Amino acid sequence: MPRATNSPASRKRRKRVIKKAKGFYGNRSRLYRYAKDAIFKAQTWATRDRKNRKRNFRALWITRISAGVRERGLTYSRFIEGLAAAHIELDRKVLSDMAIAAPSAFDEIVAQAKAALEGKHQAAAAA
């Protein structure tokens, strides 16, 4: 009996891998043997970098908030402490956008945070 190779399914599987490797350099985009390894590695890094993207965006937002707050005479950590004391629950993404797009609204939030910090320190000094 002749050897069955399941040719249609094998070809479909190989074509799927080659299609995923489109845009890779050299043999990695043309030959199944090398494309398979390149795809495996690329998918591994893609999984890791989906986590890292969240980390990078948070760092960017914090940097933007810090720059905006320093112009107004506070540090980032004191600003966040003031927000907590003032019970303002805005996330860093929104605060970052406000610092860039709506500086007047950001000024008001910074003023509220400063006032809450002063009230907190006066209460601590009185106790």
Residues 89 and 66: their CA atoms lie apart, in Å, by: 17
What are the residue boundaries of the structural domains of the chain, listed by start? 11-126
Average pLDDT of every residue of the chain: 94
For 53-70, how does the pLDDT look when each residue is reduced to its tens digit (9 = 90+)?
A: 999 999 999 999 999 999
Residue 71 has pLDDT above 90, yes or no: yes
Residues 103 and 52: their CA atoms lie apart, in Å, by: 29
Q: Is 21 strand, coil or helix?
A: coil
35-52 tens-digit pLDDT: 999 999 999 999 999 999
Region of residue 87 (left: phi > 0; alpha: psi -120 to 50; beta: else): left
CATH of the domain spanning 11-126, picked from 3.40.50.970, 3.10.20.10, 1.10.1900.20, 1.10.287.1080? 1.10.1900.20
- 10 Å CB burial of residue 41 (0-12, 13-18, 19+) is exposed
Average pLDDT of span 23-31: 96
